Amino acid sequence: MHEGSITIRLPANLCEIEELNRLVRQFGELHGIPSRTLYAMNLALDEIFTNVVLHGFADATGQEIVVRLETLAQELQSEVVDGGREFDPRSAPLPELTAALGERTLGGLGIHLVRSLMDGVDYRREKAKNVLTMRKRIR
């Protein structure tokens, strides 16, 4: 794996997810990131991006989300920055994974996936922006 980083700035719009996924995959291929690691990060970023677009703003028009990806020694790290309303994914309630079908609700699935797929999720609020950091070990 080669060390490097990329910063991707995208309009806060669901139709940009395809572009995000494409750039993440391309970064992964260029840097020799194992496909399982890349798949997990791609999905986690997709979930976070989707969440910000759908819930971060009263009106997402003209808003931007900045995604930074970086390879470190044995780790793929990402940072997502948005100017939407304050949201710490670590505080989101867990879906009831053991509930019967009739009792399962639709909320929280994406955030649960993020927490399950990543080895580390950190959050801070900085200058009226959400700064989310996710880490995935490479093995």
CB of 49 to other proteins, least distance (A): 8
CB of 103 to other proteins, least distance (A): 9
Smaller CB distance to other proteins: residue 53 or 81?
A: 53
CB of 42 to other proteins, least distance (A): 8
Closest Cα partner for 21 from 4, 5, 38?
Answer: 38
User: What residues line the site for other proteins (CB under 8 A)?
Assistant: 14-15, 17-18, 21, 36, 39, 43, 46-47, 50, 53-54, 95, 97-102, 104, 106, 109-110, 112-113, 116-117
Report the distance separating Cα 103 and Cα 101, nearest Å.
Answer: 5
Token pair belonging to 42: 């791609």
Smaller CB distance to other proteins: residue 5 or 63?
A: 63
Closest Cα partner for 11 from 69, 72, 74, 60?
Answer: 60
Smaller CB distance to other proteins: residue 5 or 11?
A: 11
CB of 128 to other proteins, least distance (A): 25
Token pair belonging to 35: 């496909």
Closest Cα partner for 65 from 10, 16, 7, 17?
Answer: 10
Cross-strand bridge partners of residue 110: none
CB of 89 to other proteins, least distance (A): 12
Smaller CB distance to other proteins: residue 72 or 109?
A: 109
Smaller CB distance to other proteins: residue 52 or 81?
A: 52
Ordered DSSP codes for 3-31: -EEEEEEEES-GGGHHHHHHHHHHHHHHT
